[in-house]
A and B are shown apart, each in its own frame.
Chain A
């Protein structure tokens, strides 16, 4: 990363050193390099790995669904459709869930397919697809909040503990151990009963109150190993301030860990929120989470009758896909941030050689989450 800046930081003009300026890059070239380093190379890395490709595609899909979806899909309202319509009513060919009509586009009549409740409706006549789509922005807000919260807190506490050492490290490590030992769900149940969070931002923070500890511990041990490397010692000898060293020398090295832990925190929040909504312990007034759909479907006999089974299955599929998207995406990002892999890919698009592929082991948790 430092090669890009080297030539521009040379003193210009004065004396014999001026000759160095000959090799400096033009502005356009510099921009192209930055673009290559931060955009083209990562994309290439992602594109070369099947898992990362699938993950990135799914993540983009959910983002589109959350950002554009609510504008395209009608808002779910009670009684907007017949009750308990099955998915793809009437079959894929000649079904009654779609209708070939025409619409006018800039005054010209063009053929058009109108879709009615493709994934069916619930027992009060709200479209299932509509509910899934309209719950997405809130879910994305929630997991983004949680991810940011956990990342900021976990990284700063972990890096601080690992970097400073001594008594502060001991204090913080004890705190981390305690927070990690607390059993997640019972504590969440009580906190949720206490706070009754409704806003997705608050919910994201409450549900990830514990997540930062695991991250802080991983970061701490990483920082411990980095702290004693020669380049950090060199920075210290140069008299750089502690915050500068942490931000410039240490944080870039722990990015893969940060990504994986952040994604894990996001998945835990999805699982926890859906679980708590499913148990009916979080307050809701409309369908704000896929867990609400699960809860309504389950309590209205989604397990007992085939009529309501689709109502239960659609949010399940959404949850599994989002969680899988996050795991695969994290694996792709791990390869992007991993300096060894990155160097190789930045040089050439070929050669996904022999780097260890056991990142999945780090991503996989022991099933301890909800």
Chain B
């Protein structure tokens, strides 16, 4: 167990290190040299700045001072990120960490609700499908699952936006909360807090619905496969022979053993979906992490781009790390670690 812990920790640290290095390499390889571009911009806007002052500002913006030797640039970049300094966004004219820090909670909020719903719906549907394997319900739901899974989520998003946003006007088509609401979470002002939460949920609802609709089919099919496999195991026959109740068998034996393999899937899906959030947030004009990354790429705002990339990747690495470590707690069979595959 200890060896497993050490191995996973080392791997997570190594991955994080790899990602930071990769982002450094990418920013250095960027076409049109971001530093020169910035320098030109600064000189145009403030003609009377001294050369040193401009160099200092450029270094401050992209976290890399191009006049230093390469290893020093790299060291400064990494230590900057470790301190939480991701540079200064050119297009938004604010520190990158501040912009992303404000965007992050919205992305996490909307997508955790969505993923949770997706898994709850998918797992229950998959269990029912497996129980009625081969029935007309099973066949039609499997077909539906395949169709929904073949649809990219931004296509569903566009359709929802068109139907429920623009045509029927039931749901807002942009933003996190309506402009008349004060963002406040205060136990002493329950009405205002409830209004804020309700507005946030209302604005995220189309996005959540999109993720759930395009995702639950895949979860249901995976759960169905796992359950069918469990249903064929000997210990279930033994449990039936022992005269255990159906409910107990369904919950303790089938559900538990079928859901376990999907636990890591949950955390990995979280990372993957947040990573893929850019297009959805763009469609719904929902200013979260992905929205700012796309905006940064469009404006060639290298500091913001790299900051978003590093932040999302570190989030995914941490998620995978937690999944790996806690999986042993949830499923005693893998506590010895090693390669379960």
Contacts and interface: CB of A to CB of B under 8 A. Distances in A.
Contact of B149 (A190, A221, A367): A367
Interface in A223-281: 224, 267, 270-271, 274-275, 278-281
B287 interface: no
Interface string B139-177: 000100111011111110011011001100000000000
A10 interface: no
Interface in B240-261: none
Nearest to B229: A358
Contacts of B150: 267, 320, 323-324, 327
A274 B152 contact: yes
B153 A367 contact: yes
Interface string A339-370: 00000000000000000101011111111111
Given A178-B18, A185-B278, A324 B229 contact: no
A328 interface: yes
B64 interface: no
B288 interface: no
Interface residues of A, number: 57
A194 B26 contact: yes
B209 to A, nearest CB: 13
Given A178-B14, A304-B166, A368-B269, A183 B155 contact: no
Contacts of A365: 149, 218
A360 B221 contact: yes
Contacts of B316: 181-183
Nearest to A301: B166
Interface stretch (B55-63, B91-99, B200-208, B294-302): B294-302
B24 interface: no
Nearest to A303: B162
Nearest to A174: B11
B160 to A, nearest CB: 10
A312 interface: yes
Contact of A279 (B215, B224, B279): B279
Nearest to A182: B313
A298 interface: yes
B35 interface: no
A303 B161 contact: yes
Q: Most chain-A Cβ atoms within 10 A of its Cβ — which of B149, B152, B161, B313?
A: B152
Given A316-B158, A367-B269, A361 B275 contact: no
Chain B binding surface SS class: helix
B251 to A, nearest CB: 21
B312 to A, nearest CB: 5
Interface string B162-199: 10011000000000000000000000000000000000
A189 interface: yes
Contacts of B152: 270-271, 274-275, 319, 323, 369-370
Interface string A180-215: 011111110111111010000000000000000000
Contacts of B67: none
B113 to A, nearest CB: 15
A152 interface: no
A193 B158 contact: no
Q: Most chain-A Cβ atoms within 10 A of its Cβ — which of B15, B166, B218, B276?
A: B276
B302 to A, nearest CB: 9
A365 B225 CA distance: 12
A181 B316 CA distance: 7
Nearest to B146: A327
A356 B227 CA distance: 13
Contacts of B153: 367, 370
B146 A312 contact: no
B297 A298 contact: no
A275 B297 contact: no
Interface of A: 173-174, 177-178, 181-187, 189-194, 196, 217, 220-221, 224, 267, 270-271, 274-275, 278-281, 294, 298, 303-304, 309, 312, 316, 319-320, 323-324, 327-328, 356, 358, 360-370
Given A281-B298, A361-B222, 20 more contacts: A181-B313, A181-B317, A183-B309, A185-B276, A193-B30, A194-B31, A196-B31, A274-B152, A281-B294, A303-B161, A303-B165, A316-B155, A360-B145, A364-B149, A364-B222, A365-B149, A366-B219, A368-B271, A368-B276, A370-B279
